[in-house]
Structure 1
């Protein structure tokens, strides 16, 4: 009997593609045939970024569908991309599945889709294919989303998702509280975008309920209260390249491996790693304050500076900065983050608190300095600092800027208090035990594979 054929559909953004691609490779390792669906635009970026030695296309069949946008359209416009995908996805995906089923004897038997594109789950349901929703963020955030109807009924938020008063939402005593200021759809300044994001959240709350399974890139130890209170959520993570003894996949930029050699020359537990994901944009005055803060520490730092991190990057640094820090720091355009975080020289992670970065840092026992920008990053900051107590928040001044003195002071606190590192290492041990043979995530992942094969 042929192995089951699984179709995976991510939301078209790097933070979504990476964990689902990792899931794809874990499924391949368990003997399943996997086809991975990217938009044409995302596929082109991903393939260009792959190292020449990568064999992912030998393991996973990579196929594409259009995203409905023109080549000249700006794909950092979240609303425009989402609206186009939701319109185009159902028909294109149906045609793709029919084409695979007509041309191959090994038909699609299961579809796993990012919960942000419930339309894919609806297509699978109509076609009689078993389906699983994949949640790439904190399970606690998904719990908040599925409870949206109750939050409206209880008068905590209105029908547009706006909080009626400031309070802390807590679904059980064992779960972390969520401040109404930290709701992922309200952490945006533009009211129209808030309403649009909330509309997506409402759709997610409906689509995951129609899935046969809901799998989360998290672990029992990491969010024990949430998984106890929401037993339909299945923790199968964190999904890490190191757990399958492979290379990280799904990046949209070519990784600079030279920074690993630089790290090898630094003392253990000394380097500040600074990275803000694939989407964050800095105003130049804030970019310069960060640069000055890193310089002020007199500690070695490795800073990921994407070409589009700030406007006019070539002239964005403070005058003389590069010359002054040439022996102290390294700036790279993109980095092999999972390898970096496992390096013994890394001591602290200045992060935007995306969930991928959060679980990768925690899985390597690294304390955080938190710098969130929007969506679930703000909740993740509270989770890291207030609940797990493995990091500190950075505070803005009255003009909304995080000053270099604040950056330096908080870094000194993280380096100076051993409790941050001790708690991070303790949590690392527990999470890694979850994903190793016999652990909770290990068992649940195997149960998930058995369900696909059934």
Structure 2
């Protein structure tokens, strides 16, 4: 019998590509062939970042194919209203053609990011087994499924999801409560984008009914109340790229990784380094950028700071404070992008100043690293509540009267975090739970086997 062949589709953003690529390796390890779909734009960026020719098709056991996203080369892929509208218009016909006319390759199953769940009906009509993958906290998925009830109860507007009243909702007991103003779709700056994203989310939640199974990058001990309430969501995390061949660099990064930072970490004492990274989307203005720099200087500790090439607003020329680079030269390192999983595994890391994106959250948890939370938008506020109020493995950074996180706040909270033995102990306990889940015989390991077996039943 031929091996099952999975066709995998992420939403075209860094935080979505990473866990679905990790899932790809889990399936390859279980005897699958995998074809991974990137947009043409992201495919070019990934292969440029790893210095491999873009026309390469089969790398490290993964077969890569591309579809257009409908945007011009110079357009901003962080304009999520424009991107999602374009995807819905352009991509379906290319996806159907790919499934129908892929030469000698016969796909047996289709796994779609739930944020691309509209594509599941195409695969279902082709007779493929279908599955949905949720790349964020399962608690957020539960909130998404509650949208119709929130509309019915008069909590949010049915047109754009705007809160009709300032309220706090709790979808499932013992999960973090959510302020209606901070629901993920309400975190975008302009009303037009908020409306598009809200309606796109509603479309995908409805379309997710075409998934025969839904899995997520979490584990039972991390969100136990959620999985007790919704046993149809199968946790398979924490996913990890440990299955990747050493012959190839990371195939899911849109930026060139600074590998030299690992040698620098090797020279630092155990539990001494503050790791600072804000994912692929967070933007700072110049004042906040400088306050963070001065706050890191105030700690008088070694730090590794990921200053993404587009971390600051393109219309503003953000600069380091005068003399900062010289003053911290012996203990601070600023890099464009990091091999984050390897960094967080390193014994020199003491804590993680994070935007609380789910990939960063799950990676920090898996390595027992305590957090200083600096959420930017969307689900990150919910994840912060998990970290600080439910799991108690981190602290929040607070805004001052000017709406900034001040240098003094950064300096004092780092010291408070690293002296809090309870947080450090809880971080290590959660690390053990995560490792136990992913090990052979663990709940997530068994769920992955169950998922693979389901997809193989053709």
Give TM-score, length-normalised by structure 1.
Answer: 0.95
Q: Is 1:62 matched up with 2:64?
A: yes
Match of 2:331 in 1: 328
Residue matched to 2:91: 89
Distance (whole Å) between structure 2 residues aligned to residue 170 and residue 346 of structure 1: 34
Q: Equivalent residue for 2:187?
A: 187
Query: What CA distance in whole angstroms lies between the structure 2 residues aligned with 1:452 and 1:271?
Result: 43
The number of residue pairs the alignment matches comes to 451
CA distance, structure 1, for counterparts of residue 242 and residue 24 of structure 2: 14
What is the aligned counterpart of 2:432 among 397, 407, 429? 429
State the 1:391 CA deviation.
0.9
Q: CA deviation at 1:398?
A: 2.1
Question: CA separation of 1:198/1:137 partners in 2, compared to 1, >3 Å: closer, same or farther?
Answer: same
1:295-317 deviation per Cα after TM superposition (whole angstroms, max 9, x unaligned): 01001000001111125798610
- 2:269 corresponding residue in structure 1: 267
Is the CA contact (8 Å cut-off) linking 2:156 and 2:163 kept in structure 1? yes
CA contact (8 A) 2:146 2:171 kept: no
Query: Residue in 1 aligned with 2:9?
Result: 9
Secondary structure of 1:290's aligned partner: helix
Separation of aligned partners in 1, 2:317 and 2:181? 36
Structure 2 segments unaligned to the other structure (5+ residues): none
In the alignment, which residue of structure 1 is the partner of 2:219? 219
CA separation of 1:119 and 1:55: change in aligned 2, threshold 3 A: closer
Q: How big is the shift at 1:44? A: 0.6
Give the Cα separation in 2 of the matches to 1:55 and 1:330.
36
Partner of 2:391: 388
Task: Return the alpha-carbon distance in structure 2 between the equivalents of residues 251 and 11 of structure 1.
Answer: 14
Residue 215 of structure 2 contacts residue 233 of structure 2 at CA under 8 Å; is this kept in 1? yes
**Does structure 2 conserve the Cα–Cα contact (< 8 Å) formed by 1:145 and 1:204?**
no
User: What residue number does 2:204 align with?
Assistant: 204
Aligned counterparts of 1:293 and 1:58: Cα–Cα separation in 2: 41
Corresponding residue for residue 131 of structure 1: 130
Q: 1:261 to 1:325 in 2, by over 3 A?
A: same
Question: Any idea what the Cα deviations from partners look like across 1:177-207, whole Å, max 9, x if unmatched?
Answer: 3232331111233222222221122112202
SS at match of 2:66: strand
The answer on whether the counterparts of 2:215 and 2:235 sit within 8 Å (CA) in structure 1 is yes
Structure 1 contact 384–390 (Cα < 8 Å) conserved: yes
Match for residue 357 of structure 2 among 337, 354, 361: 354
1:278 match: 280
Distance 2:384 2:51 in 1: 32
Question: How big is each residue's C-alpha offset from its partner over 1:14-73, in whole Å with a ceiling of 9 and x where there is no partner?
Answer: 111111111111111111011001111110111112266999714010011111112232
For residues 315 and 120 of structure 1, do their structure 2 counterparts lie closer, same or farther at Cα, with a shift above 3 Å needed? Answer: closer
> How far, CA to CA, are the matches of 2:34 and 2:304 in structure 1?
36
Give the C-alpha shift of residue 432 in structure 1.
1.1
Deviations 1:323-342 (CA, angstroms, capped at 9, x unpaired): 00000100011110000001
CA contact 2:57–2:64 (8 Å) conserved in 1 = no
In structure 1, what is the equivalent of residue 452 of structure 2? Answer: 449
1:168 aligns with 2:168: yes
CA separation of 1:48/1:206 partners in 2, compared to 1, >3 Å: closer, same or farther?
same
User: Normalising to structure 2: TM-score of the pair?
Assistant: 0.95
**Counterpart in 1 of 2:367?**
364
Per the alignment, do residues 388 and 182 of structure 1 end up closer, same or farther by CA in structure 2, a change over 3 Å counting?
Answer: farther
Inter-partner Cα distance in structure 2 for 1:213 and 1:91: 24
Tell me the residue number matched to 2:320. 317
Is contact 2:39–2:67 with CA below 8 Å preserved after alignment? yes
**In structure 2, do the counterparts of structure 1 residues 55 and 238 end up closer, same or farther at CA, with 3 Å as the change threshold?**
farther
Tell me if the contact between 2:8 and 2:111 (Cα under 8 Å) persists in the aligned partners: yes
Find 2:377's aligned residue among 356, 368, 374.
Answer: 374
Contact 2:111 2:130 in 1 (8 A): yes
- Would you say the 8 A contact 1:221–1:430 is kept in 2? yes
Contact between 1:146 and 1:204, CA under 8 Å: does it hold in 2? no
- Structure 1: gaps spanning 5 or more residues: none
Comparing 177-186 with 80-89, greater Cα deviation is found at 177-186
Q: CA deviation at 1:416?
A: 1.4
How far did residue 77 of structure 1 move?
A: 1.2
Question: Relative to structure 1, is the Cα distance of residues 132 and 202 closer, same or farther in structure 2, using a 3 angstrom cutoff?
Answer: same
